[in-house]
Amino acid sequence: MSLRGKVAAVTGATRGAGRAIAVELGAAGATVFVGGRSTRGSKSPIGRDETIEETAELVDAAGGRGIAVRCDFTAARDVDAFRARIESEGDGRLDVLVDDVWGGEADTEFIPFWEQDLERQLGMWRNSVQAHLVALHRLIPLVIARPGGLVVEVTDGDSDEHYSGMLAYDSVKVAIRRFGVVLARDVAKYGTTSVAVTPGFLRSEQMLEHFGVTEENWRDAIPRSPHYAMSETPRYVGRGIAALAADPERDRFTGRALASWTLMREYGFTDVDGSRPDWGRWNEEVVKPELDPTAVDVARYR
């Protein structure tokens, strides 16, 4: 699974899935342009400490080459500068574009939509849907310039069947998933593959903090949220995307909405602890039938 000599760009790579995807692409040997708003000189708009410089250093440590580029992906001027860096330092090529920018963490409200703050919900749209569109508009030309490119739209969920319970959030993720699916029709004649990819129950930095645990003792949160037993690290979906990027026959997936678990079934990789959490199967066999998760043998699904 080698991406040696390949150039990748990951939007929203400051933390969570974006950071992990960048690291796993680097572990496969790629040069990875790491884009995001949070730098050591400019703190995260939501007050977090992770930075794109740290992500680039993790890419280096994994065996790739990380290049941190400060970018607000809602702003075309910023993305033009991001593209210029790829053109100048990536030999003008872009083999893999992973569009993971999100920026809606602070705006997600777990109350009925009509009771939510409208400006916050519109801000979520700008920070996610608008950012994805701007990134695609400016960066797709680099991907399709040569055959064999890959575009990945990172979303939440692999079908429209599930409703998250939050109208604005749900519509954002559906839109982004749709981008990955329909874009396949536009880029097919250029030999480019386009997909949408979702992680499962993600143990991101923020989710660990939400439950008051760390990666070392994350299982302590299971009594509070039994389905957390099926959670996965961000590296899991990162390994799936890296495997997809290295697959010379990946075009068979173009136009599909994939997931960490479907990629795992295809490529056989593991999470960092050696397990293979299958949230898709868990959802079908435990969540939907409303079984008591504490009475289920979790090992069968990991």
Residue 38 domain flag: yes
pLDDT value of residue 106: 67
pLDDT in tens, 225-249: 999 999 999 999 999 999 999 999 9
Mean pLDDT of 128-150: 97
Query: Which residue in 283, 281, 275 sits closest to 299, CA to CA?
Result: 275
pLDDT in tens, 10-53: 999 999 999 999 999 999 999 999 999 989 888 777 778 899 99
Instruction: List, in sequence order, every beta strand (DSSP E) within the chain.
Output: 7-11, 31-36, 65-70, 96-99, 150-154, 193-198, 257-259
The alpha carbon dihedral of 134, 98, 48, 231 has a sign of positive
Structure tokens at 224: 């509070």
Query: Which residue in 62, 4, 73, 74 sits closest to 35, CA to CA?
Result: 73
Place of tokens 């319970």: 165
Q: Is the pLDDT of residue 285 over 80?
A: yes
Residue 270 domain flag: yes
- Residue span of the structural domain in which 11 resides: 7-209+232-276
**At 137, phi and psi to the nearest 5?**
-60, -40
Instruction: List, in sequence order, every beta strand (DSSP E) within 114-229.
Output: 150-154, 193-198
β-sheet bridge partners, residue 35: 69
Q: Which residue has the higher pLDDT, 262 or 1?
A: 262
Structure tokens at 9: 């760009």
pLDDT in tens, 174-209: 999 999 999 999 999 999 999 999 999 999 998 999
Report which secondary-structure segment, H or E, holds 138: helix 131-143
Yes or no: say if 34 and 22 are a contact pair by the CB < 8 Å rule: yes
Residue 144 domain flag: yes
Residue 123 domain flag: yes
The CATH number linked to 110 is 3.40.50.720
Give CA torsion, residues 289, 295, 296, 299, to 10 deg. Answer: 160
Q: Is the pLDDT of residue 2 over 90?
A: yes
Q: Read off the DSSP letter of residue 144.
A: T
Q: Is the pLDDT of residue 108 over 80?
A: no
> What's the CA gap between 249 and 140, in Å, rounded?
20
CA distances from 7 to 12, 96, 172, 237 (A): 17, 6, 28, 19
Provide the mean pLDDT of the chain: 94
Structure tokens at 23: 């690291």
Mean pLDDT of 131-139: 98
Residue 222 domain flag: no
pLDDT value of residue 191: 97
Residue 288 domain flag: no
Residue 56 domain flag: yes
Residue 295 domain flag: no
Structural domain count, the chain: 1
